[in-house]
Amino acid sequence: MFKLAEEHQNKAIEIIERHKLKKTCNVCYDRGYVGHTLENLVIPCHKCVDNEAIMKEWKEYVAQVPELREFYHEMFEEEHDDEEAEKDSETKDKKKIVEELGLKDKSREKILPGKTKEARVKNIEHRSKNR
């Protein structure tokens, strides 16, 4: 998994500190950020930091660092976002259908093994009588 190196993390905090709009803040205890993600990405405070300004500056920084540029590639492909999202949801739908079919196959297997055709017919008759 991607982990943000400490030097980049420090840079992120530096950028955040430059764009703090308030001197005191009880959301982030004046730090300007509220924590880290699993990737070590700094989570800026939404209350006292100019998020637009830090994202702009962070993007400029990321553009200079190949490994970060790769991780944040979506940030540099904004124009293709809609197209990509459409493709994604299409793939997910297909996956879902396959999963559903898989489930149906499994439930059929539960009835089939070890039973003769006759037994299966009886089983179906029995079930339809109960309805």
**From candidates 13, 25, 65, 75, binder to Zn ion by CB under 5 A:** 25
Size of the site for Zn ion (CB under 5 A): 6
Report in angstroms how near the CB of residue 46 gets to Zn ion at its nearest. Answer: 8
Residue 16 interacts with Zn ion (CB under 5 A)? no
Of 48, 55, 22, nearest to 34 by C-alpha is 48
**CA terminus-to-terminus distance, the chain:** 52
**From candidates 48, 54, 62, 68, binder to Zn ion by CB under 5 A:** 48
What is the rounded distance in angstroms from the CA atom of residue 8 to the CA atom of residue 4?
A: 6
Report in angstroms how near the CB of residue 9 gets to Zn ion at its nearest. Answer: 18
Window of 1-9, 43-51, 76-84, 100-108 that interacts with Zn ion by CB under 5 A: 43-51
Residue 12 interacts with Zn ion (CB under 5 A)? no
Amino acid code (one letter) for 3 = K
Smaller CB separation from Zn ion, 4 or 49: 49
Q: Is 22 exposed, middle or buried (0-12, 13-18, 19+ CB in 10 A)?
A: middle
What is the rounded distance in angstroms from the CA atom of residue 71 to the CA atom of residue 28?
A: 26
Query: Using CB under 5 A as the criterion, which residues of the chain lie in contact with Zn ion when the complex forms?
Result: 25, 27-28, 45, 47-48
